Amino acid sequence: MEGYLLQTPELFEASGAIAPDVRRIGLYDVRVFQWQAGVKARFAAMPVPAVAGREYGEPYLGGGPYDVRGLVGTPRVLVDGKPLELLPGTGSLSARMDGVHAPLAGPGGSAVAADGAALARSLPASQVQLEMAIAGTQSLGIVPVADSNSIVLESSWPHPQFSGRFLPNRRSIGEGGFDASWNISSLASAAQSQVLDASSGRLTARSGGAGDEPAVDSVMVALVDPVDVYTQADRASKYGILFVLLTFVGFALFELVKQLRIHPLQYLLVGLALAIFFLLLLGLSEHMAFWKAFVAAATACIGLQFVYLSGVLKSWWRAGAFATMLTALYGALYSLLVSEDNALLMGSLLLFGILAVVMLVTRRIDWYERAATLG
């Protein structure tokens, strides 16, 4: 019968800078990073149970990344100041975790004395230092497996998302990046027992996560882009109906105030030109910067409508005024799209302002008289 003894550290410290980067795959941007990790752990002396007839193998230090494909270069590990050779795999910790391990000198062999009595053995206290570079995509997770855990992370990425089972005790986020720290006790985490379950194969996959990702309590940091191209294009399309309606309101005002007759087909063509803007925006933004795509799509649509409306409204001046109104609307739309926190407020203020202008312009109009005149 085989078994093993597992000792978790009494102190765990992890720190380092997360260097972000963006890779383009086809039409998509993928956020990647490289974490220059510095890890320290302290293990207390561990008594080895003396059981007659039990034979112990060589102890080893195990851990490292869940997926070793993220390792950049060769990690360096020191135990009590002495370098050790790292080997692939985590031994009996878990067949589902890659990781690395390093053999230690310890109490191997038989644990029975010549007279049949069990011998008492122990592993000495030790200090472990690990330096490694880990590359990954979008998110980094760290398991607080010690009795006392201290984690300090920093990065130049300005939009972090903190998740996992623990939020940072302290964090600072700005345009130049973020730094955050966690202090976690084993009293607040089930990570130690979960690692034991993982090593015995009893741990199920994380709910909602990857199919082979273990459900271990962890600190998670993700590099997100709150206003990426597709989010901005989605926001723009949601404002599409509003912009068509506002344009039709402008047409109706011209029709009433200037006593012009505008055919429903002309309304339809202008509405289609406005709708095409959002399709152009999405298509162009997949091949160039979003602001460039926005300017190109807006210029094309406003120019087309300026030429068309000069005939519909029977005046270049009126068409220019209408094109100026559209330019202001597109400018307001761009401000809404690039705003991360104030999009709803800005949209509400925009609608209120437009409604106020329409009410002020039409406050003295006799609608019955104008309707009879147009009829």
23-78 pLDDT, tens digit each:
876 556 788 999 999 999 998 888 777 777 777 777 888 887 877 888 888 889 98
Domain end, chosen from 194, 223, 252, is at 223
Same domain, 54 and 128: yes
Same domain, 139 and 24: yes
What pLDDT sits at residue 185? 92
Same domain, 40 and 186: yes
Q: Is the pLDDT reported for residue 172 higher than 60?
A: yes
Same domain, 154 and 294: no
Same domain, 202 and 61: yes
Task: Note whether residue 268 is domain-resident.
Answer: yes
Domain end, chosen from 223, 238, 272, is at 223
Strand 170-174 and strand 160-164: the pairing is unpaired
Whose tokens are 């006790």? That residue is: 185
Same domain, 302 and 350: yes
Domain end, chosen from 223, 251, 280, is at 223
Task: Note whether residue 4 is domain-resident.
Answer: no
Task: Note whether residue 318 is domain-resident.
Answer: yes
Structural domain boundaries enclosing 343? 229-374
Question: Averaged over 148-153, what is the pLDDT?
Answer: 94
CB distance 146 to 99 below 8 Å: no
Same domain, 175 and 269: no
What CA–CA distance (Å, rounded) separates 121 from 103? 18
Same domain, 215 and 277: no
Coil, strand or helix at 18: strand
Task: Note whether residue 204 is domain-resident.
Answer: yes
Same domain, 158 and 248: no
What CA–CA distance (Å, rounded) separates 99 from 113? 36
CB distance 151 to 15 below 8 Å: yes
Percentage of the chain exceeding pLDDT 70: 79
Same domain, 161 and 249: no
Give the model's confidence band at 17: pLDDT under 50 very low, under 70 low, under 90 confident, else very high.
very high
Q: Is the pLDDT reported for residue 92 higher than 70?
A: no
What CA–CA distance (Å, rounded) separates 96 from 89? 10
Question: Averaged over 334-339, what is the pLDDT?
Answer: 75
What pLDDT sits at residue 10? 92
Same domain, 262 and 134: no
